[in-house]
Structure 1
Amino acid sequence: MSDASPGGMNRRSFLSAAGLGAAAIGGAPLLSACGGLKGTGASSSSDVLKIGYVSPQTGALAGFASADNFVVKQITEALRGGFTAGGRKRTVEIIVKDTQSNPNRATEVTRQLINSDKVDLIVGSSTPDTTNPVADQCEANGIPNVTTIAPWEAWWNGRGGKDGEGFTYTTLFFFGMQEFADCFFPMWERMEVGNKNVAALWPNDTDANAFRQGLGPMITKAGYEVVDGGAYQNGVTDFSSQIAKFKSSEAELFTCTPIPPDFQTFWKQARQQGFKPKLATVAKVMLFPSEAEALGPLASNIATDFWWSPAHPYKSTLDGKTAQQLAEDFAATGKQWTQALGSVYSLFEIAVQAFKNAGDPKDRDDVADKLRTMKISCMSGDLDFTAGPKPGIALQHPVGGQWRKGTKFPWDVAIVDNTPNKAVPIGGDLLPTGT
């Protein structure tokens, strides 16, 4: 197979020009010319195992991928000596693709990984805009796949999952509406409010509709009343109608699932127009320090779900590194830890474990089976893909945290409620948002 690309560029130059990247682990070449499988279930003599990684490194969702390059380097170092799988020493090659925060682009780059790069397994991260199109392509082409940072209902229902069946090649670890409820409701119950109205900013997209259809009824069942601002389109610039509705309801509790730029717009307009909920428990946004920095003082004591932090008592299956050590290593680069550190790291832990567990790591069916049946204690905690709620889904249990002014960095997180996961220590009191 030729290494040439259109326009006379070699493949390495072409990848660089396209904004794509690859990392070689264990001494493997940057890009092998004709590696990969010849067919589903086929065996290959190659000792190089290719992992494709897909995430939104640019665009509206880029905050989710801010630690990607660091994690790939960490995995590179942890696996530098290779590992044994299928009775032989193996090395890993990681090929990184950017979705540009566009689901159509996610589909396109996943096809590139399958058809051009001939990867053995694909991992992906960050919202259904990435996880769903990546998983759909992997399922259609028989490629083992694991994704994360997407509510399982949005991943399962958004892809037409059928009860009792599951998917053959695609798996997910994260959490869903029950876990959001387990995280948010205890904080609501601890906050003294004048009524039980909950203002909800849920756009018309896969993520938010999962909340509207899943979390909404749970909120009602718990004795609260949902004040739904309406299914608006992502990218709107005026939230006056939603704010007016929330103010008229006198809601003192607020929750949401917008894309990050829209939340920044909404939250600033809400303050300008006098909507100041006593407690904001937000999802999909305010997960990362960059978002708190963008809001400045308006970020104070906004609460969200934390599924990974330096305080979580988890460690790597690859080199024994703890969550605290991983965060400190990241801080040494001058950047603040983000939740995605643990999640993306675990994608590769799971991929490597599936290769090790398979009789032949080049057999797609075998590797996919090992993903679906995996139980692993890793950087993201104890994950059991056999436990459900659906086949091939492993649940995490997030705790409640609030953004506070930091010392080393402008903003930091205090874990204020550990009701769903007592293993995570409390780091501060629950305080009203905005104080």
Structure 2
Amino acid sequence: MSDTSSSGPNRRSVLRAAAALGGASLVSACGGLKGTGASSSDVLKIGYVSPQTGPLAGFATADTFVVKRIQEAVRDGFTAGGRKRRIEIVVKDTQSNPNRATEVTRQLINSDKVDLIVGSSTPDTTNPVADQCEANGIPNVTTIAPWEAWWNGRGGKDKGFTYTTLFFFGMREFADCFFPMWRRMDVSSKNVAALWPNDTDANAFRQGLGPMMKQAGYTPVDGGAYQGGATDFTAQIATFKESEAELFTCTPIPPDFQTFWKQARQQGFRPKLATVAKVMLFPSEAEALGPLAADIATDFWWTPAHPYKSTLDGGSAKQLADDFAADTGKQWTQALGSVYSLFEIAIQAFKEAGDPKDRDEVASKLRGMKISCMSGNLDFTTGPHPGIAIQHPVGGQWRKGETFPWDVVIVDNSGNKDVPIGGDLRPTNA
């Protein structure tokens, strides 16, 4: 279901948000404001933007659950600016399209009159959402996008940002996650096959991780900056085979990786270890590949094994994952923790502001925030640039599961010793 109007509060968006709250109306779900005589200033409206449909929809699997969970956690309201406040959440779908992300963010600002906007995932969402917020003076926090793609892709190298913030990680953290696994793999070649398309995400890897690979003694073998949505990867596979690369990394959209990986097997490219980014982050992708998913490694910034807790109800990462499974019948995804923390951070900024309706003050609280939450210890003051909080992922591999078809085993915690090791690192293709 998608929003199609930009002229006012859209019936479809209201219905979607209501559905996300278990069928209740937005107001009644906010804690019973109806009939209380409360003014609109008692309600703080948060807009949430994510790719709920389209090729990036896997990132939004947990959205409905998280929105409901947040509403439950603050159903009795909280004190901000010396008064009791309630939360209203307005949900928008980008349809995995950056132009659509721009459009729905404008709807949130101009029609829904939100006080703050949060968004996830990938630069196709985070960048256009943040650009609109910056241009319109709306406090904003986003996640699940490499900070270089978010910062440099928006011209941050020339200027800073006043209203927009991000928590995630960047090329240094990818290197800290992937390189230790490469070093542990017995390979005869230091060539690394790299499937990097021509988009903001992949170009950040090409320009950032590529030089780091060289500094570490590896040679990136770039398959070429192809356009997303490709159906034939024969040329890239031939390049990789000719290089005799035994290590592989990539940053495509999920459908492209599915196509590439199947064709690679058919054409005889079987790297000893695959460490992939942007893909294989969620169980649905492992299920789509079936046996070909075995022992593909990727970065994990949130799992039930992470020792982090909610600032809203004190629940642990494991409890959140278990509750998600019990409520939906689906397996946890790491976006679950990230999306949850978007709302933790937003609510904390409201609480810290003398006037939570003062956009400049709330934005300042976001930029200066230090918080220990479901996504770990986040400090927006010490990142590579102001307003960026860095997470530290660990390396995990997909293995046959017990409760669900596939599960994640943490095999390297070089980047974050807080997370326990769950098993040995195995070759992707022995």
Q: Report the alpha carbon displacement of residue 134 of structure 1 after superposing the two structures with TM.
A: 0.1
Q: Deviations over 1:164-207 (max 9, x none)?
A: x5200000000000000000000000000011000000000000
SS of 2:41 mapped into structure 1: coil
Select which of 333, 337, 353 maps to 1:342. 337
Select which of 247, 263, 269 maps to 1:269. 263
Q: Deviations over 1:81-113 (max 9, x none)?
A: 100000000000000000000000000000000
2:202 maps to what in 1? 208
Select which of 13, 16, 21 maps to 1:15. 13
Q: Is the 8 A contact 2:8 2:111 kept in 1?
A: no
2:351 maps to what in 1? 356
Identity of aligned residues (%): 82
Q: Deviations over 1:381-406 (max 9, x none)?
A: 00000001011000000000000000
* Structure 2 residue identity aligned to 1:144: P
* Structure 1 residue identity aligned to 2:68: K
Q: Structure 1: how far apart are the matches of 2:131 and 2:14?
A: 26
Correspondence 1:124 to 2:119: yes
1:238 maps to what in 2? 232
CA pair 395-11 structure 1, distance change in 2 beyond 3 A: closer
SS of 2:183 mapped into structure 1: helix
Where in structure 2 are the equivalents of 1:33-182 lying within 5 Å? 46-162=41-157, 166-182=160-176
Which structure 2 segments of 5+ residues have no match? none
* Structure 2 residue identity aligned to 1:318: L
Q: Report the alpha carbon displacement of residue 19 of structure 1 after superposing the two structures with TM.
A: 9.1
SS of 1:377 mapped into structure 2: strand
Q: Deviations over 1:270-324 (max 9, x none)?
A: 0000000000000000000000000000000000000000000000000000000
2:191 maps to what in 1? 197
2:244 maps to what in 1? 250
CA pair 53-28 structure 1, distance change in 2 beyond 3 A: farther
Correspondence 1:220 to 2:214: yes
Q: Structure 1: how far apart are the matches of 2:9 and 2:110?
A: 14
Q: Report the alpha carbon displacement of residue 28 of structure 1 after superposing the two structures with TM.
A: 5.6
Q: Deviations over 1:345-378 (max 9, x none)?
A: 0000000000000000000000000000000000
Q: Is the 8 A contact 2:52 2:60 kept in 1?
A: yes
Q: Report the alpha carbon displacement of residue 45 of structure 1 after superposing the two structures with TM.
A: 6.2
TM-score by length of 1: 0.93
SS of 1:94 mapped into structure 2: strand
Q: Structure 2: how far apart are the matches of 1:406 and 1:14?
A: 37
Divergent runs of 4+, >6 A: 17-22
Q: Structure 2: how far apart are the matches of 1:145 and 1:261?
A: 29
CA pair 279-309 structure 1, distance change in 2 beyond 3 A: same
Q: Structure 2: how far apart are the matches of 1:190 and 1:366?
A: 48
Q: Report the alpha carbon displacement of residue 233 of structure 1 after superposing the two structures with TM.
A: 0.2
* Structure 2 residue identity aligned to 1:157: N
Correspondence 1:260 to 2:254: yes
Q: Report the alpha carbon displacement of residue 15 of structure 1 after superposing the two structures with TM.
A: 3.2
Q: Deviations over 1:142-175 (max 9, x none)?
A: 0000000000000000000036x52000000000
Q: Is the 8 A contact 2:20 2:67 kept in 1?
A: no
* Structure 2 residue identity aligned to 1:411: W
1:380 maps to what in 2? 375
Select which of 265, 274, 278 maps to 1:280. 274
Q: Structure 2: how far apart are the matches of 1:198 and 1:181?
A: 13
Aligned-residue CA RMSD (Å)? 2.0
CA pair 425-19 structure 1, distance change in 2 beyond 3 A: closer
Q: Is the 8 A contact 2:397 2:409 kept in 1?
A: yes
Q: Is the 8 A contact 2:17 2:91 kept in 1?
A: no
Q: Deviations over 1:29-73 (max 9, x none)?
A: 69xxxx9xxxxxxxx961000000000000000000000000001
Q: Structure 1: how far apart are the matches of 2:88 and 2:235?
A: 50
* Structure 1 residue identity aligned to 2:417: K
Q: Structure 2: how far apart are the matches of 1:317 and 1:18?
A: 26
Q: Report the alpha carbon displacement of residue 252 of structure 1 after superposing the two structures with TM.
A: 0.3
Q: Deviations over 1:245-290 (max 9, x none)?
A: 0001110000000000000000000000000000000000000000
TM-score by length of 2: 0.94
Where in structure 2 are the equivalents of 1:304-323 lying within 5 Å? 304-323=298-317
Q: Is the 8 A contact 1:182 1:419 kept in 2?
A: yes
Q: Structure 2: how far apart are the matches of 1:362 and 1:178?
A: 37
SS of 1:158 mapped into structure 2: helix
Q: Structure 1: how far apart are the matches of 2:79 and 2:14?
A: 31
Q: Is the 8 A contact 2:8 2:107 kept in 1?
A: no
CA pair 226-153 structure 1, distance change in 2 beyond 3 A: same
Q: Report the alpha carbon displacement of residue 22 of structure 1 after superposing the two structures with TM.
A: 6.9
Select which of 287, 290, 295 maps to 2:284. 290
Q: Is the 8 A contact 1:28 1:91 kept in 2?
A: no
CA pair 313-18 structure 1, distance change in 2 beyond 3 A: closer
Number of aligned residue pairs: give it.
416
CA pair 132-20 structure 1, distance change in 2 beyond 3 A: farther
1:416 maps to what in 2? 411
* Structure 2 residue identity aligned to 1:26: C
* Structure 2 residue identity aligned to 1:27: G
